[in-house]
Structure formats: structure tokens, C-alpha cells
């Protein structure tokens, strides 16, 4: 079996608060193969950002930490690595693209300089070489007149242009993994589509593996190879786009898809809403975390927590309805 580029195992991460440790992710396991795109979808507060910050070990800077579990990057567990070592890995082997491009750019440096700086640090390029490669990167991400634009400051560019610069910066050192957390939500709709097209193109041409976090199912359907659905800190379903979107197993996924305009072909009608609200990860019901909202809840769901298990449609789902009959039974 070929090794996955990224393999997350039972990752529990959270924050130390006045009331003790509060979990934000609960035994999250996922894997990403070379050159593939995995999308994590789920409602606000389900733990998508914390998962990505924990993988990058940026969670340490947000006042949180990894409580247990492993993050295997190219087979090596980076969950316990020193930040000093992580700094070398981040920016060169894995890079992150955030929602707000302005927060990732330094307002007082020219955009070309910011890309060149990363190339000098991580790739040990000389002054001239680094600048030339920075201009090439701006061209690659579709910035017109890159020679001229490289001399501009972030405030001289539109939000969409700035996000392209951030992507150029993330790609500059040829990372093997890019984690993008809602990279288009701060942009207007037409620019969103352009940035997504750009990510899809980069994935095809550079074969970079992408972990994309979004709450937009349409976006996920367009760009992903595999989808992981998060609910209250846990992954409740994981499979190919076809499996998860066209043949969903978990009642939460079913509800989520029905609550989105357009995806199921029904337009204009009243949208479905999943009854109830997402519970706090630190105050979960006994049994299945989705049981208070589930239309198919059974006795067993109130007592036993379903693990993420191979289900009837081929994907994995954390639902007792999906349990396959035991062999020989
Ligand atoms: N710095 C922090 N300190 C304490 N709790 C936090 C912190 N950051 C996030 N959390 C909590 O962790 C949980 C998961 O948050 P997270 O930001 O990962 O959600 P998300 O799925 O990314 O949501 P969204 O779609 O709104 O971005 C939430 O309950 C949130 O309140
Ligand atoms: Mg988030």
C-alpha cells in the first residue's frame, strides 16, 4: 500500500480555559493521498479550522494544543515536534492559505518582496533569483503584468488579487501539502469562482495535495476528490464526492445536503432545516452525538457511540444504520 502524504489519527485538540480543557476536535482521523484534494465540510463551529490549525501545529499560537492523537506527514508524526522544526516544515513542505488574505500579507512590504523573502529563507535563493521566482509565481497564479505588480503593496491590490498573492506565496517553495481554510469566503462571488478555478488548475498542474476547508458544498463538489463531513468536532462521514454527495449515508450529511439550495436540483422551494442545534463538543449526549437531531434515532443510538465504520454505500459513516452484517452472521 502506498503511503498517504497526510494521515491524521484520533486527533483530539482543544484549548485550556478557566473551566479546564475544552475539546474542539474529537478523535479526528483522515487521510490525504499525494495529488488529491480532500474537502472538510460542516456547520460553523464543527471544528474544521481547529483541525487544520492542529495539523499545521499553528494551534499552539492560538492558545490551544493537541491533547492526543497523531499527525503523520510523509509517515513522520509531527504532533509532538518542536516549533523550531515545525517552522522549517511550514512554508516549505506544507503551507496554509487563510480566509482573509490581508491578515496573511504584511502591509509595509511589496508583495514581490514577501514572496522573495520566503524563497530566500526556505530555498536559500540569492536576492536576484528570489525576486525573479517571485515574479514567476505571480504570473503562475494569474496576476497580469507581474513584473509591475511585484512592486506594489497589498493595499494597492483588490481582495482577489491579494488572495492570489497569498496563494503564490504558499506555492513558492513547492510545498507538498496546501491547507486552505475558507480561502474564498472573504471575496465576492465572481472572484470566488476565479480563485477556485486557480486552485483546481494548480492541483492539476503542480500535483499539490490540497486540504480545503469550506462550508460551501458546491465548492467542495467541484474541487474535491474526497469529502469529510464534520459534526460537533468529529468526522461523521468520509468518502468520495460521488459517495458522500450523491449517495450520503449519515443522516446529518443527508440533512446538510437537503438544506442547501440547488444541490439536489430543487430550486425555489422551501429549504429543509435540520431541527435543533449543534451541541457543544464538551457537553455531548450519550451515544451518537447526532441523536437529538436525527430523524432515524434508535435505542442503540442513545446508548452506544457509533465509530466511523465502512458502510453500505462504500464510504465510512459513524451511524449504526450503516453497520454491515457480520461475516457469517
Ligand atoms: N482560540 C480558541 N479558544 C477557545 N475555543 C476556541 C478557540 N478557537 C476555536 N474554539 C472553539 O473550537 C470549536 C471549533 O471551532 P472551529 O473554529 O474549528 O470551527 P469551524 O468549523 O472552523 O467553524 P467556521 O465554519 O465558523 O469557521 C468552537 O466551539 C470554537 O468556539
Ligand atoms: Mg473555521
Q: How far is CA 318 from CA 46, 85, 274, in A?
A: 15, 35, 18
Cβ neighbour number for residue 246 with a 10 Å cutoff: 13
DSSP E strand stretches across the chain: 6-17, 20-32, 37-41, 64-73, 76-77, 94-97, 177-181, 209-213, 226-231, 234-240, 309-310, 316-317
Higher pLDDT, 90 or 227: 227
d(CA 163, CA 271): 32
Q: Which neighbouring-strand residues pair with 20?
A: 17
Ligand nearest to the CA of 53: 1
Whether residue 29 has pLDDT greater than 70: yes
Beta-strand relationship, 226-231 and 76-77: unpaired
DSSP string, 58-75: -GGGGTEEEEEEEEEETT
pLDDT score of 234: 96
pLDDT score of 320: 95
232 torsion bin: left (phi>0), alpha (psi -120 to 50), beta (else)? left
What lies within 8 Å, CB to CB, of 167 at 6+ separation is 97, 141, 183, 195, 198, 199, 202
What lies within 8 Å, CB to CB, of 52 at 6+ separation is 40, 96, 179, 181, 211, 213
pLDDT score of 19: 86
pLDDT score of 270: 65
**HSE-up (13 A, CA, CB side) for residue 196:** 23
| Across 95-114, average pLDDT | 92
d(CA 221, CA 306): 26
Please work out whether the CB of residue 49 comes within 6 Å of at least one atom of ligand 1. yes
| Across 238-256, average pLDDT | 94
Higher pLDDT, 54 or 263: 54
Strand order in the sheet with 20-32: 20-32, 6-17, 64-73, 76-77
Q: Which neighbouring-strand residues pair with 90?
A: 94
d(CA 56, CA 78): 9
How far, in Å, from the CA of 43 to the mean position of ligand 2? 9
User: What confidence tens digit (pLDDT) does each residue in 41-63 have?
Assistant: 998 899 999 999 999 999 999 89
R_g (Cα) of the chain, nearest Å: 21
Please work out whether the CB of residue 48 comes within 6 Å of at least one atom of ligand 1. yes
Atom 19, ligand 1: residue with shortest CA distance: 45
| Across 102-129, average pLDDT | 93
Q: How far is CA 163 from CA 92, 187, 192, 194, in A?
A: 19, 9, 10, 11
Q: Which of 212, 230, 125, 224 is nearest to 172 (CA)?
A: 125
Q: At CA 32, angle to CA 252 and CA 35, rounded to 5? A: 125
Whether residue 322 has pLDDT greater than 70: yes
Atom 28, ligand 1: residue with shortest CA distance: 45
CB 322 within 8 A of CB 309: yes
User: What confidence tens digit (pLDDT) does each residue in 266-308 have?
Assistant: 555 566 788 888 888 888 999 999 999 999 999 999 999 999 9
Ligand nearest to the CA of 46: 1
Please work out whether the CB of residue 50 comes within 6 Å of at least one atom of ligand 1. yes
Higher pLDDT, 5 or 262: 5
Higher pLDDT, 328 or 200: 200
**Grid coordinates representing 13?**
485538540
Collect residues with CB below 5 Å from ion ligand 2.
Answer: 49
Atom number in ligand 1 closest to CA 42: 21
Q: Which of 198, 280, 264, 273 is nearest to 232 (CA)?
A: 280
User: What confidence tens digit (pLDDT) does each residue in 194-207 have?
Assistant: 888 888 888 888 88
DSSP string, 264-302: TS--SSPPP--SS-PPPTTSPPSS-TTGGG-TT--HHHH
Please work out whether the CB of residue 24 comes within 6 Å of at least one atom of ligand 1. yes
CB 161 within 8 A of CB 143: yes
Atom number in ligand 1 closest to CA 182: 27
Classified as helix, coil or strand, 196 is helix
pLDDT score of 1: 54
| Across 81-104, average pLDDT | 89
- Mean pLDDT score across all residues of the chain: 90
User: What confidence tens digit (pLDDT) does each residue in 73-84 have?
Assistant: 999 999 999 999
Ligand nearest to the CA of 51: 1
Beta-strand relationship, 64-73 and 177-181: unpaired
pLDDT score of 323: 81
Amino acid at each position: 500500500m502506498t503511503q498517504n502524504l497526510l494521515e491524521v489519527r484520533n486527533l483530539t485538540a482543544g484549548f485550556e480555559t478557566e473551566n479546564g480543557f475544552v475539546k474542539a476536535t474529537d478523535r479526528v482521523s483522515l487521510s490525504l493521498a499525494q495529488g488529491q484534494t480532500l474537502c472538510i465540510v460542516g456547520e460553523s463551529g464543527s471544528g474544521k479550522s481547529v483541525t487544520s490549525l492542529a495539523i499545521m501545529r499553528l494551534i499552539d499560537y492560538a492558545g490551544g494544543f493537541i491533547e492526543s492523537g497523531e499527525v503523520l506527514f510523509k509517515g513522520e508524526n509531527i504532533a509532538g515536534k518542536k516549533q523550531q522544526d515545525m517552522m522549517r516544515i511550514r512554508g516549505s513542505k506544507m503551507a496554509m492559505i487563510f480566509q482573509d488574505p490581508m491578515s496573511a500579507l504584511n502591509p509595509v512590504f511589496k508583495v514581490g518582496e514577501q514572496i522573495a523573502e520566503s524563497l530566500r529563507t526556505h530555498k536559500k535563493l540569492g536576492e536576484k533569483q528570489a525576486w525573479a521566482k517571485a515574479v514567476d509565481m505571480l504570473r503562475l497564479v494569474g496576476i497580469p503584468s507581474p513584473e509591475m505588480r511585484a512592486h506594489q503593496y497589498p493595499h494597492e491590490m483588490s481582495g482577489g488579487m491579494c488572495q492570489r498573492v497569498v496563494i503564490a506565496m504558499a506555492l513558492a517553495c513547492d510545498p507538498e501539502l496546501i491547507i486552505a481554510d475558507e480561502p474564498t469566503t472573504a471575496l465576492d462571488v465572481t472572484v470566488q469562482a476565479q480563485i477556485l478555478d486557480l486552485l483546481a488548475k494548480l492541483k492539476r498542474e503542480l500535483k499539490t495535495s490540497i486540504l480545503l476547508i469550506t462550508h460551501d458544498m458546491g465548492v467542495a463538489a467541484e474541487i474535491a476528490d474526497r469529502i469529510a463531513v464534520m459534526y460537533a468536532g468529529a468526522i461523521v462521514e468520509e468518502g468520495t464526492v460521488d459517495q458522500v454527495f450523491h449517495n450520503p449515508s449519515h443522516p446529518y450529511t443527508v440533512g446538510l445536503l437537503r438544506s442547501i439550495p440547488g444541490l439536489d436540483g430543487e430550486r425555489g422551494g422551501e429549504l429543509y432545516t435540520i431541527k435543533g442545534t449543534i451541541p457543544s463538543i464538551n457537553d455531548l449526549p450519550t451515544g451518537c452525538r447526532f441523536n437529538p437531531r436525527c430523524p432515524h434515532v434508535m435505542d442503540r443510538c442513545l446508548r452506544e457511540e457509533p465509530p466511523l465504520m465502512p458502510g453500505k454505500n462504500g464510504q465510512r459513516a459513524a451511524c449504526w444504520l450503516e453497520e454491515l452484517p457480520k461475516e457469517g452472521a
